[in-house]
Chains A and B, each alone.
Chain A
Amino acid sequence: MIVAVNVHLKKGVLDPQGKAVHHALETLGFKDINGVRVGKQILLDIDTEDKEKAIELAKKAADELLANPVIENYEIEVK
């Protein structure tokens, strides 16, 4: 089962990459985009068919390594 862990900087933390991408989009004429946040998606191929078990495992992996709780939030998404 493929489970995605989507990691983003927390709301209060300035995202310089997002800001630069936003600026580039504005230059291209995308006037209706209010803001951009750049994150990363980590895909875990988990050896189970049990959805809850997979989510629990992904959450543990995110807490221990994939996200840094000081600066980042994450969401888990079963593919």
Chain B
Amino acid sequence: MKVSVIVFPGTNCDRDTKWAFEKIGAEVEFVWHNEHDLKNPDLVVLPGGFSYGDYLRSGAIARFSPIMQEVKDFANKGGYVLGICNGFQILLESHLLPGGMTRNENLHFISKFHHLKVIDNNNRFLQNLNIGEIVNIPIAHAEGNYKVDEDTLKKMYDNGQVILKYCDENGNELNPNGSVDSIAGICNENKNVFGLMPHPERAMESLLGGSDGVKMIEGFMK
């Protein structure tokens, strides 16, 4: 599988992401934000970081990078796209995913391992996990307070687009940032564009705190 990891000025999880996908056997290329060629990938990943210094709103400026037009075309043709953390914010600002992101309710930058519950697995990304399964994945963000209007949210539930929620170790809802319905990850209607605030690429090695990220990103390998 070929993965293209997009690098914007201010991206800082690009190398971790490359390492994670190489660990599961993918061939990974970096693509710089002002390039026009995605290098023919099976999956495009927008990694975490602070693209363009989070100026105006997180992800708002990255949306206008030359490469984002290519990412949009790729996604609209059914290509698989995964946005992690800032990458999720960029996908929201690019309207490839519904909703928007606001500051964490407590205004803090939250950086810690957090449990997540699988809400829907009828998609490529989470196909290796069971509904209700709990994974432990690091979060690291100041703007993960996901907001979306009620009508859209209802449609997202009906269509299986709400895929991950924050919870405690027993699976009870536990909301770190104020996100609507404790939502941590979603996908688009066609289930080829995914966004989540937690960092599966930082949970690849039990020696480093946990390896639950492996079975998540391995979904893209099949």
Interface set of A (CB-CB < 8 Å, partner B): 9, 13-14, 16-17, 20, 65-66, 68, 70-71
Query: Across the interface, which residues of A come within 8 angstroms of B56, CB to CB?
Result: 65-66
Contact A68 B107 (CB under 8 A): no
> What would 19 more interface pairs be, CB under 8 Å, given A14-B105, A14-B178?
A13-B102, A13-B147, A14-B102, A16-B102, A16-B103, A16-B104, A16-B105, A16-B107, A16-B178, A17-B107, A65-B60, A70-B92, A70-B99, A70-B100, A70-B147, A70-B148, A70-B149, A71-B100, A71-B147
A64 and chain B: residue at smallest CB distance? B64
Contact call B60/A9, Cβ cutoff below 8 A: no
Complex contact B102–A9 (CB within 8 A): yes
CA distance A14 to B180 in the complex (A): 11
Point out which of B57, B64, B105, B145 has the most chain A C-beta atoms below 10 A from its C-beta: B57
Closest to B64 in A: A65
In the assembled complex, the Cα of A17 lies from the Cα of B103 at a distance in Å of: 8
Chain B's interface size range is 20 to 34
Q: Chain A residues with Cβ under 8 A from B64's Cβ?
A: 65
Which B residue's beta carbon lies closest to that of A66? B56
CB-CB contacts of B87-122 with A at 8 A, as 1s and 0s?
Answer: 000001100000111111111000000000000000
Q: Which residues from B are CB-within-8-Å of A66?
A: 56
Q: Quick one: closest B residue to A68, CB to CB?
A: B100
Q: In the complex, which residues of chain B have a beta carbon less than 8 angstroms from the beta carbon of A70?
A: 92, 99-100, 147-149
Q: Complex formed: what's the CA distance from A17 to B105 in Å?
A: 9
Can you sample 12 A-B contacts with CB below 8 Å? A9-B102, A14-B102, A14-B178, A16-B102, A16-B106, A20-B107, A65-B56, A65-B60, A66-B56, A70-B148, A70-B149, A71-B147
B76 to chain A, nearest CB (A): 19
Closest to B100 in A: A70
Residues on the B chain within 8 Å of A14, using CB = 102, 105, 145, 178
Report chain A residues within 8 Å CB of B148: 70
Which residues from chain B contact A9 at a C-beta distance below 8 Å? 102
Residues of B within 8 A of A65 (CB): 56, 60, 64
CB distance from B51 to the nearest CB of A (A): 15
Q: How far is the CB of A44 from chain B (nearest CB, A)?
A: 13
Which residue of chain A has the shortest Cβ distance to B103 in the bound complex?
A16
Q: Which residues of B lie under 8 Å from residue A68 when comparing CB positions?
A: 57, 60, 93, 100
Which one of B64, B99, B100, B104 has the highest number of Cβ atoms from chain A below 10 Å of its Cβ?
Answer: B100
- Distance in angstroms from B154 CB to nearest chain A CB is 16
List of A residues within 8 angstroms of B104 by Cβ: 16
Question: Which residues of B lie under 8 Å from residue A16 when comparing CB positions?
Answer: 102-107, 145, 178
